[in-house]
Amino acid sequence: MNGQNKRTVYADHAATVPITDRVRAAIEPFLCECFGNPSSIYRYGREASRAIFTARKQIAELFGCHPQELYFTSGGTESDNLAVKGSAFAHDHTTHGQHMVATAIEHHAVLHSLRFLERCGMDVTYVMPDTNGIISPDAVLDACRDDTVLVAVMLANNEIGTIQPIRNIADAIHEYGIPLFCDAVQGMGQIPVNPIALGADMLSLSGHKIGAPRGGGLLYVRSGTPLLPLIDGGGQEMGMRSGTENTAAIVGLSQAMQDAAAETAEHARYLRGLSDALFRALECLPHCIVNGTKDPLLRLPGNVNVSFPGLDAESMVLHLDRLGIAASAGSACTAGKAALSHVLAAIGRDDAAAASSLRFTFGRENTMDDVIYIADAVKHVTETLYAMQ
């Protein structure tokens, strides 16, 4: 394999996806002609605020919740920060003497919010997954205490795609009156996502993972859940999130959510076919280890995560990039230094396996030819890199 027969394959849909045609058509008017500030009372403002009202109503109908239980934000990171920090400060305006429980494999938007709270005096217990990447409801319940004010468990993991038993966890902790926050950013479009059905008291979503613009997201907050706003100002979003609303991102989010919900089952079947084929091809390669369970009920259909111990994930990603393939390394690059994945460490992978993980995440435009091309490319890259050792 060389650069000559190169094609382009985007296989990093867990990072972000292109805006869909339907979303583009829906948001177009709000980028230019309907540019009004939704807080203005004249026609331009009313047009924008009507669009936001409609989007909120459509999402509420999709979830079967009250529109006033939905807050638009700038994305998954902000929603996660609001849920975690807003819960802590809602209780006492001080975090001393409070306790939270979270899984050790949450996204950094949750984990780093918790680290901030720990510096303010919060006590946090991190629940470890099993070696397949699954969190046990019993382990979550065991971690809870009398002073626990929040439990945070993500719906699906962004690195290894494992799906958590959210409903069972919610039922267990609700017996003790403890609210559940669920980061569902990676689930929408691939598995059913509904905060009511999941039993989540708060649930975060991000538009750009499902074909809406980057910079738009949502936090569902069940009525009565204690939460303090983090961003103060003009009192938009019912006082929970000040700042002039991003009308286009909100309209796009609603459109993308309607489309994702309507197409979930069919989309999931298609993605599963691609992932299964890639797993089959990669597992034949020397040294390949699959990260996370392969149980179809417990893994996002579009997620493939494997390690090639002894190789370096970033070098593999760059070699694949030269062959036209966009994939992700399991390690996160922080301030120029590659940090080993906390998720792979939590499922018991040693440093060699954690430093050599590759994640491929599929979307609707990927084809079986893409899978064959990726499999050939990974074979070529890993053979070349192992031979150089």
Positions marked active-site: 333
Residue 338: phi and psi, rounded to 5, are: -75, 120
Where does this chain touch ligand PLP (CB under 6 A) — which range of 180-188, 192-200, 284-292, 339-347?
A: 180-188
Where does this chain touch ligand PLP (CB under 6 A) — which range of 83-91, 183-191, 227-235, 267-275?
A: 183-191
Q: Please give the full DSSP string across 20-76, using - where no structure is assigned.
A: PHHHHHHHHHHHTTT---TT--SHHHHHHHHHHHHHHHHHHHHHTS-GGGEEEESSH
Instruction: State the minimum distance, in angstroms, from the CB of residue 284 to ligand PLP.
Output: 29
In the bound state with ligand PLP, the residue whose beta carbon lies nearer, of 29 and 243, is: 243
Candidates 19, 23, 150, 185; binder of ligand PLP (CB under 6 A) is 185
74-93: which residues touch ligand PLP (CB under 6 A)?
Answer: 75-77, 80
Beta strands in the chain (DSSP E): 9-10, 70-73, 99-103, 123-127, 148-152, 180-183, 202-206, 217-221, 289-290, 303-307, 325-326, 328-329, 332-334, 337-339, 357-361
Candidates 98, 164, 206, 264; binder of ligand PLP (CB under 6 A) is 206
Q: Is 154 in the site for ligand PLP (CB under 6 A)?
A: yes
Ramachandran area for residue 217 (φ above 0: left; ψ -120 to 50: alpha; else beta): beta
Candidates 47, 69, 183, 237; binder of ligand PLP (CB under 6 A) is 183
Beta strands in 112-262 (DSSP E): 123-127, 148-152, 180-183, 202-206, 217-221
SS3 104: coil
Give the integer Cα–Cα distance in Å for 379 and 278: 12
Q: Is 217 in the site for ligand PLP (CB under 6 A)?
A: yes
Residue 45 to residues 34, 36, 129, 163: CA-CA distances in angstroms? 8, 5, 48, 41
Residue 387: phi and psi, rounded to 5, are: -65, -25
Give the integer Cα–Cα distance in Å for 77 and 130: 26
SS3 280: helix
155-174: which residues touch ligand PLP (CB under 6 A)?
Answer: 158
Q: Is 107 in the site for ligand PLP (CB under 6 A)?
A: yes
In the bound state with ligand PLP, the residue whose beta carbon lies nearer, of 200 and 381, is: 200
Instruction: State the minimum distance, in angstroms, from the CB of residue 258 to ligand PLP.
Output: 19
Instruction: State the minimum distance, in angstroms, from the CB of residue 281 to ligand PLP.
Output: 26
| Per-residue contact string for residues 234-263; x = within reach of ligand PLP by CB under 6 A | ------------------------------
In the bound state with ligand PLP, the residue whose beta carbon lies nearer, of 36 and 216, is: 216
Where does this chain touch ligand PLP (CB under 6 A) — which range of 71-79, 113-121, 240-248, 256-264?
A: 71-79
Number of residues that bind ligand PLP (CB under 6 A): 14
In the bound state with ligand PLP, the residue whose beta carbon lies nearer, of 76 and 211, is: 76
In the bound state with ligand PLP, the residue whose beta carbon lies nearer, of 186 and 291, is: 186
CB 80 within 8 A of CB 143: no
Which token pair is 278?
Answer: 């890639």
Instruction: Point out which residues bind ligand PLP (CB under 6 A).
Output: 75-77, 80, 107, 109, 154, 158, 183, 185-186, 206, 208, 217
